Structure 1
Amino acid sequence: MTDGPDLRPREAWERYIDRKRPERTEHSMKSIYYRIRLFVEWCEDQGIDRVSELNGWHFEQYETERRSRDLAVMTLGKEMGTIRRFVEYLERIEAVDDGLSEKVPNIHIPKEARSSDKKLAAEEALPLLDYYREHERGTRHHAFLELAWSTAARLGALRGLDRRDFDAEEQLIEFKHRPETDSPLKNKTEGERVVGLPPEVAEAVQDYIKGDRWDKRDDNGREPLLTSREGRMGMNSVRRMSYQVTQPCSYGKCPHNHEIPTCDFREPNHESKCPSSRSPHQIRTGSISWQLDCGVPIKVVAERANVAIKTLKNHYDKTEPRKRMERRRRPHLDKLSYDPDHE
């Protein structure tokens, strides 16, 4: 038995959440909160009164119970990983025996299940950009698509941009962590960065500011770059705009043989049901692959998109193996060539 605090599961959960909250974004904390809450409620149902009573059999039973719910392996793996880190915290404060966290089942997640291959491919994105540049230049949809594709930024980062973060003369955009006024970055201050924009992207954003943009302030007195009639767009509004702007019928025929004027996917709040529409994350994934295919060094892409190189390789680089070889290895093959007549 330990000599540390004698905590009930719910007390331990609340202490852990309070400890982690300053370190994580609100979105991340919601996931952590929910995963541990499920475990705590299970402990209470099982009559586990103190965390010091926990043992390997309990974790085995809980994992079996969760697996019976037909959870995706990725979901189950994330849940058990969160519980393991929770138990590691309990070890540190000596509320449970050392080594208990090693008894939490480690769920093997196959590489193919770790990330989705669904993305906005370059062959889809580039015609969309051509269409907006010619037919809807300077609209909010156009500015959003240009920024999302060229920067590969996350949804929250795009939503949190202010007008002052854009420099038309220097052709750049700056992402800043502003949690106190409702626009945090996922990686907090580590996510702050300045990203250069191609001239045509900077010009499109400038056209939007001069024309289609509502001159509004948000509830914190800031001037958002992407505005609605009320001020700063909400997360769901930006996500919905992403689905709208990536529907392929915007620039051509419907690939699903639907009649465009009567297609249900064109109706408000139904855009995400279109098989070809894409979320901000899928634009981000496609953009990262495209930038790599264009020959931009992986380190530069990682800095622009604010993603670790290892994460980029495992989760975002969706290039086919043959293309990956052409992109990364072909330029170096001349170094391996051997000429027997050369002395």
Structure 2
Amino acid sequence: MKLPEEPGDFNPTAAGEYWINKRKIDHTDNTIRSNQKDLDPFLMWCNEHDINRVGDLTEWKIEQYEDYAHARDDWSAITIKNKLQTLKQFLRFLGEKGAFDGYLHPAVTVPDLDRSQEVNTEKWDKTDALPQIRFMRNSPKWYGTFEHAVTEIAWFTGRRVQAIAGLDLSDYTRDPDEEDPADGPYLDFKHRADEGTGLKNKLDSEDPVEISDDVADVLDHYIARERNDKRDENGREPLLTTRQGRASIGKIRGAIYLATQPCIRIACPHGENAKKCEYRKRDHASKCPSSRSPHRIRTGSIQWQLDQGIAPEDVSDRVDASVDTIRRHYDVPDDREKMENRRRKYTGVLEDSIDEADESTEQTQSEQGDDDSDASSDPSTTL
């Protein structure tokens, strides 16, 4: 990118591109995508208001943009906060480069939300998740498939999709040896940025995460019967593979969108014919109103783990999120059952929660219906 003679002459869009490129040096891909998504509306607003130089930005123009943000019906309070926080970072960067006469970022007023506004409610709730997982464990067609293995890992560990994609076969331990302090199966998440599988918080994200024997059984089945024996471009043996090598984040997302569709287990809640519905195909699965993204599995898993009595400090280690984030966004008990559950403890409890899921929620289809709607029988869903 050719830099202008003076930083204030930067076009806002070009300045945004320059800032994003600078941040790529020491920030993860997910953070960069979030920054870009949060900054884009401001850059579009500048274009629509004929602001062609960042040096022409003023406190009053920032005030006008804030009014625009707060007036949007499609932006929640937390969305507005995130976008204005990103704008503040962007303007601080430009100020440090001398784009303004002084600094402009203090003019951005980031909303101070109360806890109820910041709680993350976008999740795959356990009332949907647990019956779905139990169904896959009991389904000959789904058990141990790529979709099933990915969903079990995502739900039981609560880890981000990029961390799941970065797992190697050697990161899975079924039977720890005598020198291993673990007493059961686990997945060891490692930061390997130089080989294309970095973790969000780098070395701070590294941790072995205990899984149950039932989750391990699923992984054993997947490895023995479904996993492609492939290496990635760095010669590593990925745990999750396709015919080409390591399963990409996109492949894992598609698998999760398919596995969370309720119509693999019950009649379509939207009245569609599962045999004809285009959303049953991997490339369109995310369009299903009832499918859930990896992020929603993560948020649902965190709340589930807290509800089962695991302390926020322990959940923090398992899912790679700060205790403050856990307490602020997820640790919100709202009835006596949750309060009592907080006294219970750990991995066995998580597995018991799946086994004890209310049978009444499992309205399984007939064998014929299962054959008709099973995503794994559709060639277009093969990973």
* Distance change >3 Å, CA 269–CA 168, structure 1 → 2: same
Deviation at 1:303, TM superposition (A): 0.7
Give 1:184's match in structure 2, choosing from 192, 198, 213: 198
- Name the structure 2 match of 1:335: none
TM-superposition CA deviations, 1:87-119 (whole Å, max 9, x none) = 333444555455532212334556555455232
The answer on 1:156 being equivalent to 2:162 is yes
Instruction: Give the counterpart of 2:262 among 227, 235, 248.
Output: 248
1:222 shift after superposition:
2.2
Contact 2:7–2:97 (CA under 8 A) maintained in structure 1: no
Asked if 1:286 corresponds to 2:300, the answer is yes
Counterpart code for 2:10 = P
Q: TM-score, normalised by structure 2?
A: 0.73
What's the offset of the Cα at 1:301?
A: 0.8
Specify the code of the residue in structure 1 equivalent to 2:161.
L
Residues 116/264 of structure 1: CA separation in 2 closer, same or farther (3 Å cut): farther
Of residues 135, 146, 150, the one that matches 2:152 is 146
Partners in 1 of 2:214 and 2:58 — Cα distance? 60
Moved more, 303-312 or 170-179: 170-179
Which amino acid letter does the alignment assign opposite residue 117 of structure 1? T
Tell me the SS of whatever aligns to 2:208: strand
Report 1:231-310 matches (<5 A): 231-310=245-324
- C-alpha separation in 2, matches of 1:123 and 1:59: 43
Letter in 2 for 1:120: W
Distance in 2 (alpha carbons) for counterparts of 1:40 and 1:138: 46
Which of 115, 118, 124 aligns to 2:122? It is 118
Q: 1:227 aligns with which of 241, 245, 248?
A: 241
Shift of 1:236: 2.1
Mapped partners of 2:253, 2:64: distance in 1: 38
Judging changes above 3 Å, is the alpha-carbon distance between structure 1 residues 111 and 298 closer, same or farther for their aligned structure 2 residues? closer
CA drift of 1:139 comes to: 2.0
8 A contact 1:140–1:208 mirrored in 2? yes
> Which amino acid in the other structure matches residue 25 of structure 1?
T
Residue aligning to 1:58: 61
Counterpart of 1:133 in structure 2: which amino acid?
A: R
Which consecutive residues of structure 2, in runs of 5 or more, have no partner in the other structure?
1-5, 177-184, 346-383
- State which drifts further: 32-41 or 229-238: 32-41
**CA offset digits 1:37-90 (Å, max 9, x no partner):** 665676676456463x54311212333455566551444332221121223334
- 1:42 and 1:259 map into 2 onto residues whose CA distance is 42
Q: What is residue 84 of structure 2 aligned with on the other side?
A: 80
Report if the CA contact (8 A) 1:152-1:285 is conserved: yes
Partner secondary structure for residue 226 of structure 2:
coil
Q: 1:22 maps to which residue?
A: 25
| 8 Å Cα contact 2:230-2:243 kept in structure 1 | yes
The separation in 2 between residues aligned to 1:141 and 1:270, in whole angstroms, is: 15
Q: Point out the more displaced range, 26-35 or 163-172.
A: 26-35
Amino acid at match of 1:163: L
Matching residue of 2:365 = none
Question: Residues 252-304 of structure 1: CA distance to partner in whole angstroms, max 9, x if unpaired?
Answer: 44444544434444244332333332211111122112211221111101110
Aligned residues: 326
* Partner Cα distance (1:167, 1:26) in 2: 28
Change (3 A) 1:218 1:111: same
Which whole-Å CA distance do the structure 2 matches of 1:13 and 1:270 have between them?
Answer: 31
Q: Is the 8 A contact 1:239 1:280 kept in 2?
A: yes
Match of 1:63, as an amino acid? E
Structure having the higher Rg: 1
Task: Give the Cα separation in 1 of the matches to 2:127 and 2:68.
Answer: 44
2:134 and 2:128 map into 1 onto residues whose CA distance is: 10
Distance between the aligned counterparts of 1:266 and 1:26, measured in 2? 28
Q: Report % sequence identity.
A: 36
Evaluate the alpha carbon distance shift between residue 75 and residue 8 of structure 1 in structure 2; reply closer, same or farther with a 3 A threshold: farther
SS at 2:209's partner residue?
A: strand
